[in-house]
Structure 1
């Protein structure tokens, strides 16, 4: 397996990249799941997209600085970068996650 992917340092994380990353509903679902479950195997998110499409979404989240991904054998595990994001943009991740929670609640109400 190739080496672990690169992640932006705190000084490289930009607000525009974060907003672009969370503009996609699949990536918002992934962020929500990571906030609820903690570190998760990337295959957990195959319910949202096929493997190649999922790799694209995970890389967008990683490049924006929202998640950290590590390899363990042939598996990839991801986790939210809560501490770094809180240090760079205090309260932003909590605001994003609360917005996703509201969005999910509204979707479930509209489905009933």
Structure 2
């Protein structure tokens, strides 16, 4: 049986941790995908990084309080903590996602990828 990951409580979520988490383009892409698809299997994001690197990025997002991850057998599913983030920092998640969407559109136009 897999041990469930720990997540910060609402009062433990800090702005500095969020900014650090979204400073990486891979993590912004993960958040954008989660915002569009809802809860997703972590293997969905293997297009952005190898498995070990992806675990690191998912851990950063989870430790910052941006996502909730649950284990189901050998699979991990993650979802954005929208309600918690909106309660703690109103409008911040929407701003981050809008910026990530803009960044993604610019990459598509220029043909570059992370």
Paired residue for 1:109?
109
Secondary structure of 2:11's counterpart equals: helix
Partner SS state of residue 65, structure 2: coil
Alignment partner, residue 25 of structure 1: 25
Q: Give 5+ residue unaligned stretches, structure 2.
A: none
Number of aligned residue pairs: give it. 112
Query: CA offsets per residue over residues 15-70 of structure 1, 9 Å max, x none?
Result: 00000000001101100100010000000001111110000000000000000000
Q: What is the deviation of 1:2?
A: 2.4
The within-5 A match list for 1:25-104 is: 25-104=25-104
- CA distance, structure 1, for counterparts of residue 67 and residue 110 of structure 2: 30
Pairs within 5 Å for 1:6-21: 6-21=6-21
1:111 deviates by 2.4
Which secondary structure does the structure 2 equivalent of 1:78 belong to?
strand
SS in 1 for 2:2: coil
> Tell me, what secondary structure is at the counterpart of 2:76?
strand
Gap runs ≥5 in structure 1: none
Describe the superposition over 1:58-87 as per-residue Cα deviations: whole angstroms up to 9, x where unpaired.
000000000000000110000000000000
- Could you tell me how far apart the structure 2 residues matched to 1:29 and 1:111 are? 16
CA RMSD of the aligned region, Å?
1.1
TM-superposed deviation, 1:89: 0.2
- Measure, in 2, the Cα distance between the counterparts of 1:73 and 1:21: 27
Regions of 4+ moved over 6 Å: none
